[in-house]
Amino acid sequence: MKLIIAIVNNDDSSTVQSALTEGGFFVTKLATSGGFLKKGNTTFFVGTNDDKVDGAIEKEPTVPPTEMGEFFTPIMVDVLVGGATVFVVDVDRFEKI
């Protein structure tokens, strides 16, 4: 079993949540914020069997190729907004008690 931790932009959160639940995945959604932009984002926890990991990751958004332009002071930096940051970790033990 694996735990997928997926961090997505708040704008994509509803779409991702629907796609995961409609795909039969169990999902926990957390309101989080990024350390760099200090803006809200959404983190999903999805526990699933190893053979379903790729199917869950396919539900995550991809980066839109033209969407740019978050500016951050004091140094102006272009940051690509969108897509997902995904971690997949092994689960040693899983129980519902």
Identify the burial level of 60 via C-beta atoms within 10 angstroms of its C-beta, where 0-12 means exposed, 13-18 middle and 19 or more buried: buried
Of 13, 41, 42, 48, the one binding ligand 2BA (CB under 6 A) is 41
Residue 12: how many CB atoms within 10 A of its CB?
Answer: 20
* CA distances for 74 relative to 3, 64, 71, angstroms: 37, 26, 9
Residue with tokens 């994509």: 12
Q: Select 41 or 48, whichever has its Cβ closest to ligand 2BA.
A: 41
Of 36, 40, 50, 64, the one binding ligand 2BA (CB under 6 A) is 36
Q: Select 55 or 83, whichever has its Cβ closest to ligand 2BA.
A: 83
Check residue 91 for interaction with ligand 2BA (CB under 6 A).
no
Q: Which residues bind ligand 2BA (CB under 6 A)?
A: 7, 34-37, 41, 79-80, 83, 85
